[in-house]
Amino acid sequence: MPKFTKKKPLILKLIRSWEIWIILIIAFLGIVLAIPRGENVSDLSEKRNLLENLLQQEPAKVSSEQTKALVEKTEENQSYPDLISQKINHFCNNKIDAIKEVFEETNIQRLAATTNYGDREKFDRTPEKRSVPHQPVMIVLHETVIPLNETLKLFETNQDNDSAQVSYHVVVGLTGDRYRVVPDDKRAFGAGNSEFKGLSVSLNPALPSSVNNIALHVSLETPPDGNREIPEHSGYTEEQYQSLASVVGNWMIFYKIPIKFITTHKAVDRDGNKKDPRSFDQSKFQNYLNIYLERVSSDVCPA
């Protein structure tokens, strides 16, 4: 009777083959070396391309029923602010750097004259030089009231009179174009005698305190029918709401600003004279903001 030998399983042959082990080790090292190392990633081009496409995308259309449902849901259990907080906490440093880079590259530079903005002061101007809050913790929404070109020229003109010195960090035109007027790390003169939720910083004892040292100011270009002192006008364009959402959303991400610290010039003005932004659709803005943060979170910063 012929003698049969039991064949060894193929898997055992592979395990005992030193060539296979070498191949597996090389493959494993290749995978490990290919994994990004957070802040050691030097090339942000892929993230920038994602963001550029993101900023150019047409936002999803939101019906009035969806808007109403979102607002009602927000009022009931504050799920919308909770969602925003979750999105912000989802970001890592290198993603924020990518967003900042693309944001500034897509802004149109129209910097204000140096008389029309200042430093974010760390100390007040009293003899004691007391320390004061100086980091952005809130966002104030405005409207220009006058046409865009007049607004930008006003900011670019040196003003010797303190009362004429005014500026915002960003202006959003009717077409949705964003104009960078004052860098974020500087103090724009957007709200003189102002306060919000008890927050106001006094730098000069001779002048009223204001939120300027701790605020970021963004203004919407007023439509042509609103270039006068009337209670309401035709409102802002879809492009403006979309662009405003990207500005506010980015600032929320960059500076960890919660949605409850987004307010209006009207709300912070102590004198009660400011009414801007007039005819502002809060529900529409919230929808665009939600859409923007959803896109940035899902497309740029994977879990």
Q: pLDDT tens for residues 262-285?
A: 999 999 999 999 999 999 999 999
- Residue-level pLDDT at 57: 47
User: Hey, what are 248's tokens?
Assistant: 């506010």
pLDDT in tens, 145-157: 999 999 999 999 9
Which sequence spans correspond to the domains of the chain? 45-300
213 pLDDT higher than 90? yes
pLDDT band at 48 (very low <50, low <70, confident <90, very high): low
pLDDT band at 22 (very low <50, low <70, confident <90, very high): low
What is 45-300's CATH number? 3.40.80.10
CA neighbor of 139 nearest in space, from 247, 284, 287, 274: 247
Whether residue 39 contacts residue 92, with contact meaning beta carbons closer than 8 Å, is answered with no
pLDDT in tens, 163-181: 778 999 999 999 999 999 9
pLDDT band at 226 (very low <50, low <70, confident <90, very high): very high
The pTM of this model reads 0.73
Interval 296-300 mean pLDDT: 66
- Residue-level pLDDT at 163: 72
Q: What percent of the chain has pLDDT over 90?
A: 56
CA neighbor of 300 nearest in space, from 115, 97, 153: 97
As a whole number of Å, the CA-based R_g of the chain is: 26
Interval 75-81 mean pLDDT: 45
- Residue-level pLDDT at 64: 44
pLDDT band at 297 (very low <50, low <70, confident <90, very high): confident
Positive or negative CA dihedral for 101, 105, 107, 111?
A: positive
Higher pLDDT, 206 or 6: 206
Tell me the C-alpha distance between 47 and 158, whole Å: 39
pLDDT band at 27 (very low <50, low <70, confident <90, very high): low
State phi, psi for 128 to the nearest 5 degrees. Answer: -75, -15
- Residue-level pLDDT at 80: 44
Positive or negative CA dihedral for 89, 81, 50, 103?
A: negative
Higher pLDDT, 114 or 297: 114
